A and B are shown apart, each in its own frame.
Chain A
Amino acid sequence: MPTLSESASKALLRGYSVPLAEERNVATVEAAIGAAHELDPNAQGVVIKLCGDRIAHKTERGLVKLNLRGASAVRSAATELLAAATTDDGPVTLLVAPMLKGTREFIAGVADDAQFGKVLMLGVGGVLAEVIADVVFRLIPISPVDAYEMIDDLEMQGLLRAFRGEPAVNRHALATVLLGLSEAVEAHPEIRSIDVNPLIVVNGEPIAVDALVEVA
């Protein structure tokens, strides 16, 4: 099943109110350095990924470079990434984005269920996500009430409240993500699955850092 590239996936989802981290899609090392400076003027850290229509498993191939601070770090990472591209990958670009940090992560997505068709998922994210398995589903399409009830149905309500000095998660913003995914599937029946992972909570606001859309 074809997968849209990360930037195409994100472009599609941006049209449906999914809040995505600001990023630049560039072709050269010099442009990457410029983008990093623009997005992260205080050199807090950026992430650079190699992006292309045929590249899906970036992490496994080491095509994601994290925590790059300053021009020289950006230069060597960007150079390395472009060098790692193979002819099988087709045309590639560099995706530059600021590093987002948050203690809380969620996952949202769409799957095609054998019995129920397109279903929407919301879950607690992060490295322990699979073990915690705190996920809820609804059939697409969902209503606004369904979206809020999905959030309410998560077991770990404590993660949604104020936590370690961070404000409570903006439930309205989270519901907007869920409604946006539902609308995207309704408008594009060719979508087979969506994976918005992670949705990092920064100052209470969920921001999608990565997204992948699979189409029929």
Chain B
Amino acid sequence: MPTSTSGYTATHLTNAHFLAFFDPRAVVVVGASSHPGKFGFVALHNILAGGFSGRVYATNLERETVLNIETVVSVDELPNGEIDLAIICTPASTNSSILKSCAAKGIKAVFITSAGYGEAGESGLKAQQELMLLAESLGLLIAGPNGQGVVSTPSKLCAQIVAPYPPPGSIGIASQSGNFVSSFQNWAVGSGVGISRAVSAGNAAMVTVADYLSFYADDPATTVGLAYVEGIADGRAFAERARIVAAKMPLVLVKGGATEGGQAAAQSHTGALASNDKVFDGMCRQVGVNRAATVEEAFEAAATFATQPLLKGPNVVVLTTAGGWGVVTADAITNDRHLQLMALPDDLLKLIDTKLPPRWSRSNPVDLAGAETRETIPEVMEILAAHPDVHAIVYLGLGIQSNQAKFERNGGFFPNNGLERIVDFHERQDARYARAAHDLSVNYSKPILTATELGVCDPSNPGPAMVRETGRLCYPSANRAVTSLAHLYRRQRYLDRRADGNN
């Protein structure tokens, strides 16, 4: 599929091109189809279904009405100077003349979904290079070809040939594989932590993943970059671009082809070069890129950067309502090379003693041991968050009472047997705890990560549901929360070590 070894480098692109691409005033789908199985149908459908804020045009050789849009036969029939972005879903052979028509109408950016270019052998590569030279002479930005499209939530733009349309947020995605754009967006839908921009670079004949990331770095809508790459033709150039991006915002990256088996797959997939993975890894460490091992780790790290305060030091405290979870979390923190399972100082112990009966753990993890009353969890959480030595909290046990409440609601004895009050109480309390985790984190400017599998297993549980409502990620396990914390701290250390200027 996509290849970044196009043999062409653009020199004419400006920020205005990228603004036209991500925030177009109006869009045209070239090659709209009435057949729901065609890209030209799906692209138009998704733009309309996403609720794009500008006007939508479409071309169709038969002048069919598609999804209530009255099409025109050619771009030549469209108004002048009104449309910024064209999504091209036509066969490769027709695209040169379409580009000329687009430029004549004042269109500045074009996404080409068509295949048959750099990924399709020597003749395809030649056609791709010729098309790029033509586009440059016309002053056009070309995304793709052979990509799945672009999403931009500030403009409610869902110009892609796949679902889903993600919730709005501040994560900017750029990927060499269109399917990973979908994967990340599925995680965004599932978690509620949203996306600003997302683009599938396709063959990246003119605009590369590094170019999109560079735009995101200065984009007010984007606070975190999230990238998937396989092969990089010019590693040095990529490293220098990534360094500049990562100096401005966190940049999380997953690389496919990390193993010999993966590299063989990537060769056939991208035609791009694969390098020693340890060299790539070292490059990431050197330029401040947060490399993630898996797609879910990458999304969760990006979501953490997007929604949690900075982690200013290594000291983590675990707050748990049950022992086993705390033990496993303590292991995860201890196994990390840089995070610390903080030993609780005396003043902190004494403060917690005022809120709990003597049977509490009196160590980290802070195990409430079932001793909590109505106010205990928010109060102890605040004592921890307020302590100057504590840098982050992992909170475990959210939603268990609501889980029981749900069973009681559905167990055939409700609403009687005195269940209503207790069910209501538990559901209200879990929502309160989740709200407290958010509010205290904001007030004290410290990460507080809530982890429970209920976030995945029963997202309707009032605990995880409130985590989502506060805009944050409910981590599916404590281990994954700790991995995300490690990403926050890795970046903080990178920045701190270079803050004195001797980088």
Residues of A within 8 A of B (CB): 113-117, 119, 135-139, 142-146, 149-150, 153, 157
Contact = CB atoms under 8 A, between A and B. Distances in A.
18 contacts: A113-B235, A113-B275, A113-B276, A114-B275, A115-B236, A115-B275, A116-B236, A116-B239, A116-B279, A119-B282, A136-B281, A137-B281, A137-B282, A139-B286, A142-B286, A145-B497, A146-B286, A149-B286
Interface size class of B (residues with CB under 8 A): 20 to 34
Given A137-B276, A139-B239, A145-B502, A115 B234 contact: yes
B11 interface: no
Nearest to B338: A152
Contacts of A138: 282-283, 285-286
B330 interface: no
Contacts of A142: 286
B498 A145 contact: yes
Contacts of B273: 114-115
B413 to A, nearest CB: 56
Chain B interface SS verdict (over half): helix
Nearest to B274: A115
Chain A interface SS verdict (over half): mixed
B35 interface: no
A157 B337 CA distance: 10
B47 interface: no
Interface string B120-163: 00000000000000000000000000000000000000000000
Given A116-B235, A145-B498, A153-B285, A135 B503 contact: no
A19 B236 CA distance: 30
B232 interface: yes
A144 B502 contact: yes
Given A117-B235, A157-B337, 18 more contacts: A114-B273, A115-B235, A115-B279, A116-B283, A119-B282, A136-B282, A137-B278, A137-B279, A138-B282, A138-B283, A139-B282, A143-B503, A145-B498, A145-B503, A146-B286, A149-B286, A149-B497, A153-B282
B341 to A, nearest CB: 18
B285 A149 contact: yes
A143 B285 CA distance: 12
Contact of A117 (B232, B236, B281, B498): B236
Given A115-B232, A116-B235, A117-B235, A143 B276 contact: no
A196 to B, nearest CB: 17
A145 B287 CA distance: 12
Contacts of A144: 502
